[in-house]
Chains A and B, each alone.
Chain A
Amino acid sequence: MTLFGQVARKTWIWSWIAAVVVWFVTILVTGGASAFGLTQAALTFAAFSIIVGIGQMFVITLGPGNIDLSVPATMTLAGTVALKLMNVDDGMILAGLFTAVLIGIAVGIGNYALIKLLRIPPIIATLSMSFIVQSTAIWTNRGLRIKPPPFLADFTTSSTFGVPNVALVALFLSLLAWLLLEKTVYGRWISAIGQSMPAAKMAGIPVDGTRFVTYVFCAVLAALSGYLLACFSGGAALNMGAEYLLMSIAVVVIGGTAVAGGDSNVPGIWGASLFMFLVVSMLNTYGLGAGVRLIMTGLIIIGVIMLAGGRQPGAR
């Protein structure tokens, strides 16, 4: 058991080491002046990818081929509709939050309905769904930029005891996800399905129910992230989810979750999200242009996966 614990610890430690190294290298240039500011910014921006990443991680844990590509569209739709409904009114905050969650649930149900009823591979099902969701967002948005209610705008951009509020929300959701994964039967079921679906079926695990709940959970987290991001950035934009498509997959994998499924971990998502933001800010500090920054980001992703990956063949 202790051996297993050590191996499990190793998978996520890499992303944390990488994040800390990059943090130090950045601080070296600025002479330690911006250490606090950089940490705060990293926590704030990482929070959004952490929330999306956790949802994506649950889906990826379900096994090969399970990826939710509708994440960006869901974020955009939830942000757009919630802000439109709240209409800069503090009294409507809960109604907006409720709507965002409902949108997440609806998209999740739609995704799984396509996967199950039409037997489409999840990648294609969620892709088709994302087209429809994105269209709905375009239709409701109409190029308007509605400001978030003052209280929410204030909440998402300020911090409590030096920790950004959005990071606290992400922490709360991460704890919830960790409890779900490690301490509940549901978490065991996801891992079992990811390791072998036929075996899970034989063992009497409600495979359909578990997969259904997982897709809904992922969509709800994406919707929540979209809601927060729209409030944080002072309004919803139609392309606001775009970068979270690749980001959500990247943080899951760099975080040490097995792409083959059946093995996931929450702390890795934090390390990887912080790392992804810190890399960009490090390259910015060094004054490198957009092109070099992109190339470096790519090479670092490949470097991390080469260091952390390379599990022995056959081991899932």
Chain B
Amino acid sequence: MRTRISADAVRLLIPALSLTVLLAAVFWLQPRAMSYVGLNLLFNLAVPIALATIAQMLIMAVNDLDLSMGTFVSFVACVTATFLRDAPLLGVLILIGAIGVYALLGIVIHLRNLPSIVVTLGMSFVWAGLAVLLLPAPGGQAPDWVRALMTMKPPFAPIAIVASIVIAAVAHLIVMRSSLGVLIRGVGGNERSVERAGWSVLGARAAAYGLAGLFAVLAGIALVGLTTSADANIALRYTLLSIAGVILGGGEFIGGRVSPIGAVVGALTLTLAGSFLSFLRISPDWQIGAQGAILIVVLALRLVLNRIETREKRR
């Protein structure tokens, strides 16, 4: 490594590397996956997870953590499968209201100096309750336009890949290139200095939460587009998946160090890990365990690469 690589690039190197290795392994096990349809099937479910991961990443950028992500995405899925189809205007209003609640949470957390873990823990019960009220039993139906969007067949690359690239690009523009993004990451890095520089930390936190709400809403809509119907428990595992995705993608819990492209790659890696295991014909008993093992291996890889990097720096 003679050429100097920026810290951001190194941060991206590990997630990209793990995704490539996993993808190569899947292709080796099942060459038929190397096709338009195969790729779409592999990454289909990654789209909502990637959106939820971006949402979680925005919250983590201001040093907070959202434990209600899974129940919130489930709630949005229920709204999408009921109101958004039958009464689109009301449905849109509900979803905008939900984004408003997210921004409000950011304000309350900031003003009262509350631990975000507890507030979002409480909210996770609220969203779950609302979802159960909407759809006591699995049901509902995806609006036609959502379904059409998610099953679109663009030329060259399957929709799952196109969508992931678009999500990564948009999130990158917002978080890494816009002044709002810099402000949000600044709050995570050093809240006090942002405040002294004359910016409103309150506004930045509210914006981060509001944006997170927006991405989480998109995640819920995308999920229903794939599954065609909803259920109050449809996305419960998204809370942990989204946190794992951000970390896999090179993000950190504190310090505003996040990477949107990395987060999307992390979400893709997590999804692919599941497919990889089923191709390996591992007994279903061990599927979850093997997913944990893959998570550990990837993080170990990151440690090794970080060590190499610091050694290079010392020279």
Q: Which residues of A contact B (CB under 8 A)?
A: 64-65, 67, 69, 114, 118-121, 123-124, 127-136, 138-139, 246, 249-250, 253-254, 259-260, 289-302, 305-306, 309-313
Contacts and interface: CB of A to CB of B under 8 A. Distances in A.
Nearest to A249: B121
Contacts of B123: 298, 302
Interface in B247-276: 247, 253-254
Given A306-B112, A313-B113, 12 more contacts: A65-B254, A118-B299, A124-B243, A127-B240, A135-B287, A246-B121, A289-B132, A291-B131, A293-B129, A294-B132, A301-B122, A310-B113
B126 A124 contact: no
B122 A309 contact: no
Contacts of A305: 114-115, 118-119, 122
Nearest to B130: A295
B136 interface: yes
Interface of B: 67, 108, 112-115, 117-119, 121-133, 136, 240, 243-244, 247, 253-254, 283, 285-293, 295-296, 299-300, 303
Nearest to B282: A135
B240 A118 contact: no
B113 A311 contact: yes
A132 B125 contact: no
B286 A139 contact: yes
A44 to B, nearest CB: 22
Given A132-B292, A134-B289, A135-B290, A294 B247 contact: no
B133 A292 contact: yes
Contacts of B129: 290-298
B14 to A, nearest CB: 13
Q: Which 3 A-B pairs have the closest CB atoms?
A: A135-B289, A131-B292, A298-B125
A4 B49 CA distance: 47
A135 B115 CA distance: 32
A34 B133 CA distance: 29
Contact of B115 (A260, A291, A292, A312): A260
Contacts of B132: 289-291, 294
A147 B69 CA distance: 37
B114 A306 contact: yes
Contacts, number: 144
Contacts of A121: 247, 253
Contacts of A69: 240
Contacts of A128: 292-293, 295-296, 299
Contacts of A119: 303
A127 B241 CA distance: 10
Contact of B285 (A127, A135, A290, A311): A135
Nearest to B125: A298
A98 B132 CA distance: 41
A132 B299 contact: no
Given A132-B293, A253-B117, A124 B288 contact: no
Contacts of A294: 125-126, 128-129, 132
A289 B117 CA distance: 26
Contacts of A310: 112-114
A253 B289 contact: no
A198 B244 CA distance: 27
21 contacts: A124-B247, A124-B295, A127-B240, A127-B292, A135-B292, A138-B288, A139-B286, A254-B118, A290-B132, A291-B131, A291-B133, A292-B133, A294-B129, A297-B129, A298-B123, A302-B118, A305-B119, A306-B108, A306-B114, A309-B113, A311-B113
A300 B291 CA distance: 35
B254 A64 contact: yes
A127 to B, nearest CB: 6
B254 A250 contact: no
Of B132, B290, B293, chain A has the most CB atoms within 10 Å of the CB of B132
B112 A298 contact: no
Contacts of A313: 113
B115 A259 contact: yes
